């Protein structure tokens, strides 16, 4: 656990990894506390509409019963088990049970349907899926196409052996524990295989992004689904590791009123809001009260959104950066250092982050954001994909696929390598333009891409979703272009703007620029 320090440099000098010889995530986040303080609250369950506090003793009981059931079905070390559920007590218990068996959990988003499920279950070779009643119905139509899938378990409607003892498997920190599939922002989803050590690797970033979590009365919640790395390993499991209550809640439709209700009923102090959620709250002109910290990741926030957070959340939001393959590697920490406009933060303590060139050498110019191999948060490999695994590395560095610049110890995000726009000799990142346009009162969402142009190589094109009751016309196009010229730079204004009712997004809420780029360049008719 990080301890408060006067400066970033002091914190860095005092830090060292302590990775034990034997380590099991399930034991760490559950059995450890069940032995030390069994009645301590692990989860605050709001999914039924009423608050139910679930202790670590109860969480251990549920996970052990499920582990015995899985063991009786033949599940053991290295076997893959899907978890196809939204936020709930049984979702947490399922992952814990799988890890305590030495098996590998495969988180599956509750809104996935046929194609997405077939891709992930087929690739992982999962033989069991733990789900709920709705999920069991969906999976019933897929089992003929998934020959390795033998069992579907709905623990809320299952019978368990309450007497059989269970002893967790003794795993090492490098033993596989999870396969989390990438969101498909830049291509087909790939399964990032993560080891038990991944939780320990997340802790410094989680603690920095929440201003030295844990503090007295801290309580975590996120609207992000626990199937994603942001929900599972940025919130749920770090909270349980520290013995901090984590709220399980569902929102049929994300809105400010629902957020405030969950925060009040769960006595939430710490929230991870994906950038998309913050943009929704800003569009609602919301004001959320009662929080100590807000962390955000997934997309660059920008000065406009950060200032909105200060005014409407009463705090300085901490932006963090990472990806499924190597998460929580850059972060802000408002208690330790000031935010620098346009930068994501500084390298998280314990991770060696650099900007490298095509030859794998560090550079003070724009280059690839990279992480030195060996950090515990890094994936073991892409599941059954050695070619993609090899392509992810450049010498000793894992290359994120994002472009950036290091400025006095801060990391400035430029854009994904594929998204950087080359226009008239300028290399332009779309994020700054998107954030600038989001500062206009008529704009709800925006995606910026490069469109092929004979004269300039590429021109900047913006796809804009307007707020309700706003009409998009030529006058507004000119107004938005002038807004970017004035607020950002004369060479970075979008020469074309197209208004859309919806923007293509991944299930995690990230705008799919590759689809917009394909549409801009005539490779697809609609978006």
Residue 187 — pLDDT band, cuts 50, 70, 90?
low
Residues 110 and 204 in one domain: no
The span from the CA of 129 to the CA of 144, in Å, is 14
The answer to whether 305 touches 279, Cβ cutoff 8 Å, is yes
Residues 24 and 159 in one domain: yes
Residues 294 and 155 in one domain: no
Number of structural domains (the chain) is 3
Per-residue tokens: 89:
């007590």
Residues 299 and 180 in one domain: no
Contacts (Cβ under 8 Å, ≥6 apart) of 334: 211, 315, 316, 318
The span from the CA of 512 to the CA of 500, in Å, is 14
Residue 127 lies in a domain: yes
> Which residue(s) pair with 121 in the sheet?
none
CATH number assigned to the domain comprising residue 237: 3.40.50.12780
Residues 56 and 161 in one domain: yes
Residue 174 lies in a domain: yes
Tens of pLDDT, residues 56-77: 999 999 999 999 999 999 999 9
Residue 248 lies in a domain: yes
Residue 202 lies in a domain: yes
Residue 441 pLDDT > 80, yes or no? Answer: yes
Q: Which domain holds residue 92?
A: 20-196
Q: What is the mean pLDDT of the chain?
A: 92
The answer to whether 63 touches 75, Cβ cutoff 8 Å, is no
pLDDT at 413: 87
Of 165, 196, 227, the residue at which a domain comes to its end is: 196
Over residues 115-142, the mean pLDDT reads 93
Residue 405 lies in a domain: no
Residue 363 lies in a domain: no
Question: Phi, psi at residue 40, to the nearest 5°?
Answer: -60, 140
Question: Phi, psi at residue 524, to the nearest 5°?
Answer: -150, 150
Residues 231 and 86 in one domain: no
Residues 41 and 182 in one domain: yes
Residue 455 pLDDT > 80, yes or no? Answer: no
Residue 103 lies in a domain: yes
Count the neighbouring beta carbons within 10 Å of the beta carbon of residue 88.
Answer: 21
Of 350, 367, 401, the residue at which a domain comes to its end is: 350
Residue 435 — pLDDT band, cuts 50, 70, 90?
confident
pLDDT at 418: 72
Dihedral sign for Cα atoms in the order 93, 98, 101, 102: negative
Residues 4 and 80 in one domain: no
Residues 78 and 93 in one domain: yes
Residues 250 and 304 in one domain: yes
Of 320, 335, 350, the residue at which a domain comes to its end is: 350
CA 270 to chain centre: 16
Residues 117 and 39 in one domain: yes
Residue 489 lies in a domain: yes
Residue 48 pLDDT > 60, yes or no? Answer: yes
**Which one has a higher pLDDT value, 318 or 454?**
318
């Amino acid at each position: 656990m990080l301890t408060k320090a006067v400066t970033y440099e002091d914190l860095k000098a005092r830090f060292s990894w302590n990775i034990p010889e034997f380590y099991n995530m399930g034991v760490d986040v559950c059995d450890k506390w069940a032995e030390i303080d069994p009645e301590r609250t692990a989860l605050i369950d709001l999914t039924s509409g009423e608050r139910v506090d679930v202790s670590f003793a109860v969480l251990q009981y549920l996970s052990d019963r499920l582990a015995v059931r899985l063991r009786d079905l033949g599940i053991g070390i290295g076997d893959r088990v899907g978890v196809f559920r939204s936020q709930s007590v049984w979702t947490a218990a399922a992952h814990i049970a799988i890890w305590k068996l030495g098996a590998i959990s495969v988180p599956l988003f509750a809104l996935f349907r046929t194609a997405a499920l077939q891709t992930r279950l087929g690739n992982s070779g999962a033989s069991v899926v733990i789900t709920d009643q709705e999920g069991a119905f969906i999976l019933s139509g897929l089992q003929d196409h998934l020959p390795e899938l033998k069992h579907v378990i709905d623990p809320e409607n299952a019978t368990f052996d309450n007497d059989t003892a269970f002893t967790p498997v003794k795993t090492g920190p490098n033993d596989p524990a999870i396969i989390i599939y990438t969101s498909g922002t830049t291509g087909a989803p790939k399964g990032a295989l993560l080891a038990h050590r991944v939780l320990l690797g997340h802790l410094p970033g989680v603690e920095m992004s929440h201003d030295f979590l844990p503090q007295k009365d801290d309580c975590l919640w996120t609207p992000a689904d626990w199937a994603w790395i942001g929900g599972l390993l940025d919130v749920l499991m770090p909270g349980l590791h520290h013995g901090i209550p984590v709220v399980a809640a569902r929102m049929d439709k994300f809105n400010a009123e629902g957020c405030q209700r969950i925060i009040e009923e769960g006595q939430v102090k710490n929230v991870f809001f994906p950038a998309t959620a913050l943009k929704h709250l800003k569009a609602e002109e919301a004001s959320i009260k009662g929080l100590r910290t807000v962390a955000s990741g997934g997309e660059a926030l920008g000065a406009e959104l950060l200032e909105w957070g200060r005014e409407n959340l009463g705090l300085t939001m901490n932006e963090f950066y990472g990806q499924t393959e190597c998460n929580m590697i850059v972060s802000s920490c408002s208690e330790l250092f000031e935010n620098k406009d346009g930068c994501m933060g500084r390298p998280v303590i314990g991770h060696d982050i650099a900007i490298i060139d095509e030859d794998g050498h560090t550079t003070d110019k724009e280059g690839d954001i990279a992480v030195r191999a060996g950090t515990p948060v890094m994936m073991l490999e892409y599941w059954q994909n050695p070619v993609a695994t090899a392509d992810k590395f450049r010498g000793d560095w894992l290359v994120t696929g994002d472009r950036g610049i290091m400025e006095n110890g801060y990391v400035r995000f430029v854009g994904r390598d594929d998204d950087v726009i080359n226009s008239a000799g300028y290399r332009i990142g779309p994020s700054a333009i998107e954030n600038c346009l989001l500062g206009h009162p008529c704009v709800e969402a925006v995606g910026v891409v490069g469109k092929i142009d004979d004269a300039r190589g590429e021109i900047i094109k913006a796809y804009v979703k307007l707020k309700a009751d706003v009409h998009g016309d030529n006058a507004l196009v000119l107004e938005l272009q002038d807004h970017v010229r004035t607020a950002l730079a004369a060479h970075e204004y979008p020469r074309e703007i197209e208004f859309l009712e919806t923007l293509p997004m991944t299930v995690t809420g990230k705008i799919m620029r590759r689809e917009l780029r394909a549409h801009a360049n005539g490779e697809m008719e609609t978006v």
